[in-house]
Amino acid sequence: MSQTALITLILSGLGLAFGLIGGAFTMNAREFRRRAQRTRGLVVGLRASRSDDGTSYYPRIRFTTMYGQQVEAETTYGSNPPPARPGEEVPVLYDPARPTRIRIDSAAGSGTLLGGIFLAVGVVLFTAGAGVALAQTF
Task: Give ∠ CA 75-81-85 in degrees, rounded to 5.
Answer: 60
Please indicate, yes or no, whether the overall pTM of this predicted structure exceeds 0.85.
no
User: What digits encode the pLDDT tens for the residues 14-69?
Assistant: 888 888 888 887 887 888 889 999 999 999 999 999 988 889 999 999 999 999 99
Cα–Cα distance for residue pair 61/70, rounded to 1 Å: 11
Alpha-carbon distance 124 to 32, whole Å? 27
| Separation CA 12–CA 18 (nearest Å) | 10
3-state secondary structure of 78: coil
Residues in the chain: 138
